[in-house]
Amino acid sequence: MVKMSKYLGGVILLCGMLSVSVARGQEVSKLKVTGPAGNKVAAGKMVDVSVTGADAKAAIRWTYDKSRLDFRKINRTSGIFSGLSGTYSITAESIMLDKEGNTQWDEVSYTFAIGEPGPLPPGPGPTPPGPTPPGPTPTPGVLPIAGDGLRVLIIEESGERAKLPIGQYNSMFGKRVNDYLRAKCAKDGRGEPEARVWDKDDDTSASPQHWKDAFKRQQDGGTDGKGKRASLPWVMIANGKDGIECPLPKTVDETIALLTKFGG
């Protein structure tokens, strides 16, 4: 355990996209984060991480960009991250009091990538032909997500991904939709697209207000009582003028067509 203030000096890059140990002078973090092989997973996959080297009495805290990543704690030293395709940096911190009552603090950073989609779970068999139901209708003047520019929120049940049609799975995590969102969505303060895929039970308390409001709307219907989700996965789209909230289309082509109505 290293007794130290928040690190402001250099870092030691071990190799490529590996763990980064915090160092100050000759002090090197005793912590180590272990993740997936090659520090990379396919798009749509979850990233299992664990930290070792912490004192058994130390509290472990994970810090990460909560606007881009979701985290589920497994136990004291491990958890699961998920998010859209991209490269992410997280930090594991250990904190405890020594016998003299001094705070002992240590940290280690870790970088990983969520990349191209890997093999997808098999979808259901072909659907017999039948009448084509009418598509979702935009709601002029109604903004499911506040703000100017294209914003997209997809609500899912992460535990049911294996049961989804491949088209819906790729609409959430595939490269084609991801590339569209990166090109067309409004950007946040970090230059990242204003697009989210959240589980229906996610904790959004640390997210910006417009995302918290959108998440609450699909739960309780919003002030107009018309926004409550009817099924999962559920998509909410807004462009600052109009919007739509409806079941996520079953194919990537249909999803792109829906997004294009609002994002061009």
Task: Express each pLDDT in 165-224 by its tens digit.
Answer: 888 988 988 889 989 999 999 999 889 999 999 999 999 999 999 999 999 999 998 888
Rounded to whole angstroms, the Cα distance separating 25 from 13 reads: 15
Task: Return the structure tokens found at 154.
Answer: 């997809």
Name every residue whose Cβ is closer than 8 Å to that of residue 14 and which is 6 or more positions away in sequence.
Answer: 20, 21
Checking if the pLDDT of 124 tops 50, the result is no
User: Looking at 81-85, 109-113, 238-242, which range is the least confident one?
Assistant: 81-85
Long-range contacts from 73-78, C-beta under 8 angstroms, 24+ separation: 74/48, 77/50, 77/51, 77/52, 78/48, 78/49, 78/50, 78/51
What distance in Å separates the CA atoms of residue 207 and residue 233, rounded to the nearest whole number? 20
pLDDT at 45: 85
Q: Quick one: which H or E segment has residue 28?
A: strand 27-28
Instruction: Report yes or no: 88 and 14 within 8 Å, Cβ to Cβ.
Output: no
- Is the pLDDT higher at 229 or at 132? 229
Peptide bond into 136 cis (omega under 30): no
Q: What are 32's two structure tokens?
A: 């180590």
Considering the chain, what percentage of its residues have pLDDT values greater than 90?
52
Question: At residue 107, what are phi and psi to the nearest 5 degrees?
Answer: -150, 155
Least confidently predicted of 4-8, 80-84, 158-162, 164-168: 4-8
Q: Two tokens at 103?
A: 């705070």
As a dihedral over the C-alpha atoms of residue 226, residue 246, residue 205, residue 112, rounded to 10 degrees, the angle is: -170
Of 26-30, 49-53, 250-254, which gets the smallest average pLDDT?
Answer: 26-30
How does residue 56 score in pLDDT terms, banded at 50, 70 and 90? very high
pLDDT of amino acid 12: 29
Q: Which residues contact 200 (CB under 8 A, 6 or more apart)?
A: 155, 156, 157, 229, 232
CA distance 148 to 146: 7
Q: Does residue 46 have a pLDDT over 60?
A: yes
Please name which of 60, 110, 108, 49 lies closest in space to residue 82, comparing C-alpha atoms.
49
Give me the chain's average pLDDT, please. 81
